[in-house]
Structure 1
Amino acid sequence: MPGPEPEPPAGADLHRALLDELRFPLAWGTAPERDFAAWRRVARRTVEDHLLVDDQQGVPYAPEFTDGPEGDGYRRQTVALSLTRHTRVRGSLLTPHGTGPFPAVLLLHDHGGRFDIGREKCVRPWDGGPARLASAEEWARRHFSGRFPGDELARRGYAVLCLDALGWGDRGPVGYERQQALAAHLFHLGSSLAGLMAREDVRAAGFLAGLDRVDARRVAALGFSLGGYRAWQTAALTEDVAAAVCVAWTTGLKEMLAPGGNALRGQSAYYTLHPGLSRYLDLPDVAGIAAPRPMYFLTGARDPLFTPEGVSVAYAKLRAVWESCGAGDRLRTELRPDTAHEFTAPVQDDVFAWLDSVL
């Protein structure tokens, strides 16, 4: 005889009621603004109002450069710069040999629950000792077919900048179990972990675009996983980014907020959580602020973190925005059947070829 049905989780009715109330009234096509440029201004200001971190554009970068060993066709430097009035950050800067100005990529690292390395996930480290190099190489084997995407881009003629986000590498390691405490401290102080990351990424894009060695008209943001989220968010918030690539972080918000899902567990979710923003805009609505600039969204059909339904909802919303601007050919969306949560060599080759075509 079957037993009693299990009790629903605590708060399930409230969760469903709040989810059903999300209407995203400022989404393009729903918002009262019918002029796209006017909508972009309102939508971007709405996002910025929910970052809880002030605009930092007046803060001097005050960069300091330290040369590293020569790479295979490119120059390596460590750069230290001020992204906000409170945060000074170290990063890896790669510059191709030859005569610039060069196209450039702001390379945004992932989360992955791994904090001892940040920028070293994307750029092969030349300092920090053998333990850091071993950690970075293991990460590259696990997610990038043994490659370092930043080094590959530099060999192809791109200047590359990759910085540590708060909690990783030289700015950590915060550790998985301490993320929520970090987010809570910032909220209590009237700030936001996700908002700080967004402001820093925008500032990093401005710094890269302002370098003499870089062609400011040809700067892209590129990232995998959390880095992919950061890439489209940065493109939405600044005109310093001319194109963006998001690998393995695209979904509709409602489809992401399934009970038991990663986004409802706290911890790493706080790097993408802007309190109150979902009352106005869905995740792809925010990404749509970047239209009509070229963007490439790529998700693996075998990715366990994002459901095909959530990806399809996001892609449909994005497609509607770009096509309404007469720029459907500038948006590429792909659900790759043979790919999981990874940025493998074949995917990298496709992405880099796309960047070549748009930059």
Structure 2
Amino acid sequence: MKRIIAYSIIALLQASVSLAQTPVSLAQPPVSHAQTPSKPKLQKREKYEWQGEIPTYVETLKKELTYPMAWGNSPIKNFKKWKKAARAKVFECMMTPPKAAAAWDMEVLGEEQRDGYKAQKIAFNINAYSRITAYLLIPDSEYGKNSNAEDGKNSKAEDGKNSKAEDGLLLSAQNKKAGKFPAVVALHDHGAHLFIGKEKMIRPFFIASEEQDADGKISEKKKAANQEILDDADAWINQLYEGQYVGDYLTKHGYVVLSIDAPMWGERGRKEGVDRNKYDLIAGNMMMLGRDLSAFMTYDDISSTEFLASLPMVDAKCIGCVGCSMGAYRSWMLSALSDRIKVGASICWMITTDAQLTRRFGRKENGGFANCIPGLRQYLDYPHIASLACPKPMLFINGTKDKLFPVPGVKDAFAEMHKVWKSQGADNLLDTELWEIPHSCGLKAQEKMLEFLDKNLK
């Protein structure tokens, strides 16, 4: 009898684990209260040393953070020499980088004609370990409109082996009238939603191999899977971006736009499926391998920018980057560490460590492995790192209704950055704004982003 009871308990536990690890799409209906399993009662001791996700002595630890490499704190008084030294320290704390790929080896998997531009799904080697897929948007040139008028009527994705898809890459470069286009790296957010990545920036489409079985017949199973991705992306865009895909919006205004998946998002996720709880474990395992998962994301962003600069239709001297939330963090990190980037825009991600890791404002955004670079806080805080972008034009917008980033910490971070830009006579190039918005990147924020890019890239 005891054995039967024991087996029953094991079966229930296994079922609970399976349920907890089932990914939930935004497009799916919410689970009713009756279906939600009750949380297990936590065992507690009378004495403790941690509260929530931070130590009880967190305020004492923060007082020991003096940020000795920050501009103004550092003994290096020459700005260029300071930037070189501070950058080197950031890269040192980012741990061993991924090995560079021998070649990009780009392949156009398929394309779709949209209103005034082409959307391409491509593959290339982001590093020596990973061959990734990405979305690339290319504005139509006069040459493209005239020579592919018939093709433009057909918005269905074409197989990458079709020469039209490959020729599309060269249209802008071949057209002397159009010349080369300015370009933008569009960096997706976190949102604790890993099922989609690049699809949060550029509306997805699906190529023949993603819709057909090996025998070339349409697969209903694949069609359903593709529809789930599209529905999920549309739902996410409605929730965070007020119904507008940032990448598509920018390309309609003349920019080549590239968007990739960060490691663990979209088509760079787990074989077993999405499980947000595994992210921290995987990040820990990467550290055991002498690598940092957050740093790999930044290294990939730097690499993707180099790839974008190599494309024939891109003006390599006019590349910017944009993002919201984690995408904003990625944007100012990329701006700080890559000389390819000439202008950056970050919506809803700037703070000081003092305001991020505290209980003064209640449970807000305490960071995590997505922006964890070991040891870096011993030298530089977030605004100090962002200031490595100085004197580039940079736009920062945060929201007074953003529950993740307390306004006092945002103001302190903005003030710290302005000190740096002012010291270089470039304060007019740093635009920091507080809007009465929640954690989001709506239409007005995107319009401001476009105006800022147009002013500084065109």
Distance 1:9 1:143, change over 3 A: farther
Root mean square deviation of aligned Cα: 1.6
Tell me how far apart the structure 1 counterparts of residues 131 and 433 of structure 2 sit (CA, whole Å): 37
Tell me how far apart the structure 1 counterparts of residues 88 and 99 of structure 2 sit (CA, whole Å): 15
TM-score, with structure 1 as normaliser: 0.94
2:380 matches 1:301? no
Q: How does 1:35-54 map to 2 (within 5 A)?
A: 35-54=78-97
Q: Is the 8 A contact 2:59 2:358 kept in 1?
A: no
2:49 matches 1:10? yes
Q: Which of 247, 251, 275 matches 1:150?
A: 247
Equivalent position of 1:21 in the other structure: 64
Equivalent position of 2:287 in the other structure: 187
2:106 matches 1:106? no
Q: Is the 8 A contact 1:251 1:311 kept in 2?
A: yes
Tell me how far apart the structure 1 counterparts of residues 304 and 368 of structure 2 sit (CA, whole Å): 22
Aligned residues: 349
Equivalent position of 1:177 in the other structure: 277
User: What are the ranges of 5 or more consecutive residues in structure 1 without an aligned counterpart?
Assistant: 1-6
Q: How does 1:1-359 map to 2 (within 5 A)?
A: 10-11=49-50, 12-54=55-97, 56-57=99-100, 59-98=102-141, 99-127=178-206, 129-172=226-269, 173-259=273-359, 261=363, 263-264=365-366, 269-337=368-436, 339-359=437-457
Equivalent position of 2:152 in the other structure: none
Tell me how far apart the structure 1 counterparts of residues 95 and 321 of structure 2 sit (CA, whole Å): 23
Tell me how far apart the structure 2 counterparts of residues 33 and 58 of structure 1 sit (CA, whole Å): 35
Alpha-carbon offset, residue 209 of structure 1: 1.5
Equivalent position of 1:4 in the other structure: none
Tell me how far apart the structure 1 counterparts of residues 71 and 99 of structure 2 sit (CA, whole Å): 27
Larger Rg: 2
Alpha-carbon offset, residue 67 of structure 1: 2.8
Tell me how far apart the structure 1 counterparts of residues 417 and 315 of structure 2 sit (CA, whole Å): 28
Question: What is the SS of the residue equivalent to 2:420?
Answer: helix
Q: Is the 8 A contact 1:262 1:269 kept in 2?
A: no
TM-score, with structure 2 as normaliser: 0.74
Report percent identity of matched pairs. Answer: 34
Residue identity in the other structure for 1:304: K
Q: Is the 8 A contact 2:197 2:262 kept in 1?
A: yes
Tell me how far apart the structure 1 counterparts of residues 80 and 101 of structure 2 sit (CA, whole Å): 25
Alpha-carbon offset, residue 66 of structure 1: 2.2
Alpha-carbon offset, residue 58 of structure 1: 6.2
Alpha-carbon offset, residue 54 of structure 1: 2.2
Tell me how far apart the structure 2 counterparts of residues 81 and 263 of structure 1 sit (CA, whole Å): 34
Tell me how far apart the structure 2 counterparts of residues 100 and 150 of structure 1 sit (CA, whole Å): 21
Residue identity in the other structure for 1:345: L
Alpha-carbon offset, residue 347 of structure 1: 1.2
Tell me how far apart the structure 1 counterparts of residues 300 and 311 of structure 2 sit (CA, whole Å): 17
